[in-house]
Amino acid sequence: MKNTLLLYIAIIVFFGSGIAYVLHEGSALESATLLYTVLPHTTLSSGWIENFLKQLHHPLALLLIQIVVIMVATRLFGFLVSFVAQPTVVGEIIAGIVLGPSLLGLFFPEFSILLFPKESLGNLSLISQLGLIFFMFVVGMELDFEKIKKQSSASVFISHASIIFPFFLGVVLSYWLYPLFAPQNVSFMPFALFIGIAMSITAFPVLARIIKEKNLTDTSYGAMAITCAATDDITAWYILALIIALSISGTLGSSLFLLLFIALYVVVMFYGIRPLLAKIGSTQNERLSMNAMSAIVVLLLISSLVTESIGIHALFGAFMAGTMMPSSATSRLKELIAPRLEYVSLLVLLPLFFALTGLRTEIGLLNTSDGWLICGLIIIIAVTGKLLGSSLAAKFMGFNWRDSFALGILMNTRGLMELVVLNIGYEMGILSAELFTMFVIMALVTTFMTGPILNVITKGFKENKIGETMQKSLIDLLSHELRTPLTLIRGAASNLSNPKFLLEAKDKEAMVQTIVEGSRRMEKVIDNLLVNARFREGKTPLNKTTLRLEEVVSSALAIAENDWHRQAKLSFSPDIPPLLADISLLQLAIGNLLDNAFKYGDEVRVEITSAFNEISLVICNNGDLPSADTIATLGITPGRLDNAIGKPGSGIGLRLSQNIIEVHGGTLTIELKNDYFCVRVTLRGES
């Protein structure tokens, strides 16, 4: 160790002395005039400060400062908006506006010019575009084609209705906006189409985060919103690509030629790149190799380059490359890639895009009451189009009004995806600065309003009443529905196991039947309790399969008839369409309804019909009927009807059945009809 230290010192001294000697001898080669022209005017301190300031104005140093400021601002505002239950993207959009001419440039113009000089915006734009390319690739990966293809026709219908109606309103609005705000040399068609698509977009990533944060994944409208938003994104981006193609083409022939190139690109992606990515995915298990990651990034950049060269923007190529990734069911490639790209794009590069959007947003341009009125009108039309298009379509597909409205509110979320579309329109010169600002405000407002309105819908008076009543019902359920059969089972089992009792064969059979019936009754109660607990915790994942309702009803009816030792009248039409549902939950719901029918009536009728792809199940019973007043208030005040006094049960079965039906997008209504108490279940069949 000592010898090593001595050798180390000797090497440093020897070679250090050599370097010093060469530098001393080399200084003699300098011109004497060079020393006297530089040194007399510079002191040590002033020279260092001047050099430091000069380095800060270097493009690289300025870019690093901008990135630091932008990251701090977006993280800060993203954290602040979390206190008012808003997604992080709302704070990031606000941070971009604050850093732009709307606030920083208004109150501190010199500092704004120093921090964001015009000549530096080109570098900022290029890097933000790179961040968007990676982000759109991740968005594309989140959309699983295999899952979307398995979804019901309801999701496609609701999604496309949520696009076409606001698109129509946007095109109509553009007829009025065109003479007021259209830039020079922009024809009406691209202007109108861009206004239409700006009204129609839904931010799938933001919506997915809102649903996850609010624990709405397992609700009927939350699950449907995810599917609809995914379908919406795919459809909207294809429409946007066509709009860009039509906008940059001067003639119909040029448009057709460009559309041919787009079609060829899509074919190559589906039949060339998709199998290649699937092959790469099949070779990757727990870890992603550097070669595989490099190959995927290269394919991503080539796809973006191709679409940029065609003229439909590099972001479309990134999005398409993401959608071509193999399904999560067949490969872990998405899980391995997404974290690597998300951190870079979301934390570093994407905030630059928000800042750039903020620098383009000049709220000061809306300096008249007319400007703000037009901005307000744009917001109203945007909300109306998306909300009505989604809600009415959901109601038509069998959702109740509350869930339909909640779905419409979720689909009204625009967020980041709206900003991407607006920036494309702005860069192409289709949107003026005033109109760009108005639509940025619209994107912010529509995203901001989602959380508060959703809280009102999901935590309203009705939900509180349901929770309180069901909690009281559980006490009654535990004390009667479980204890009674348990007592009978224990008594029968004790008699059978006691050797002192000499039982005849018929008595033994009766006791065994008591144990079987009591066990079945307890099993049904426990199933109700477990499913009820899942609903109360907001955890109701549906294991949907294609089934036939008449088969489920027949199975549940056979069990009920055996339990109650009575027969029911069953009839159904031969043309009933299949149904996509969770068979165990649906059978539990129908079993509860049948038990109630047998419990309160001597005669039970079951009828299944269908019309226009809508399936109706009607279960009726006679006997001691409830009053019309309690039936009318059942949807508001859940619990037992006034004819249930003295009867076993707690009323939880009926409420649970209603929840299960609503989770499937159906409705459950109760009515008195010709001296019969009838429960009508309506579900949407598969076309």
What are 480-513's pLDDT values in tens digits? 556 666 666 777 777 777 776 666 777 777 777 7
Sign of CA dihedral 247, 252, 254, 256: positive
Q: Please give the C-alpha separations between residue 259 and each of 67, 239, 519, in angstroms, as whole numbers.
A: 38, 12, 66
**Close Cβ partners of 559 (under 8 Å, ≥ 6 residues apart):** 520, 591
Strand order in the sheet with 614-621: 569-572, 604-611, 614-621, 676-684, 667-673
Kind and range of the H or E run holding 421: helix 415-427
Choosing among 3.20.20.140, 3.30.470.20, 1.20.1530.20, 3.10.180.10, the CATH entry for 137-344+363-454 is 1.20.1530.20
Predicted pLDDT at 645: 45
Could you tell me if 77 and 98 are in contact, meaning their C-beta atoms sit under 8 angstroms apart?
yes
Kind and range of the H or E run holding 676: strand 676-684
In the structure encoding, which two tokens stand for residue 418, read together? 């709206």
Q: Which positions of the chain have pLDDT values less than 70?
A: 1, 30-57, 143-153, 209, 212-220, 249-255, 284-286, 328-330, 458-488, 500-503, 517-518, 520-541, 612, 624-652, 687
Do the two domains 137-344+363-454 and 462-684 of this chain adopt the same fold?
A: no
Predicted pLDDT at 380: 93
Q: The tokens 């530096």 sit on which residue? A: 120
Predicted pLDDT at 646: 45
Predicted pLDDT at 642: 45
Predicted pLDDT at 429: 87
Q: Please give the C-alpha separations between residue 452 and each of 84, 162, 447, 463, in angstroms, as whole numbers.
A: 9, 21, 10, 16
SS (H, E, C) 537-566: CCCCCCCEEEECHHHHHHHHHHHHHHHHCC
User: Which amino acid type is present at position 168?
Assistant: F
Q: Is 665 left (phi over 0), alpha (psi -120 to 50) or beta?
A: left
Q: Please give the C-alpha separations between residue 145 and each of 59, 141, 329, in angstroms, as whole numbers.
A: 43, 9, 11
What are 93-116's pLDDT values in tens digits? 888 888 888 888 888 888 888 888
Per-domain boundaries in the chain: 137-344+363-454, 462-684
Domain 462-684 falls under CATH 3.40.190.10: no
User: Which amino acid type is present at position 469?
Assistant: T
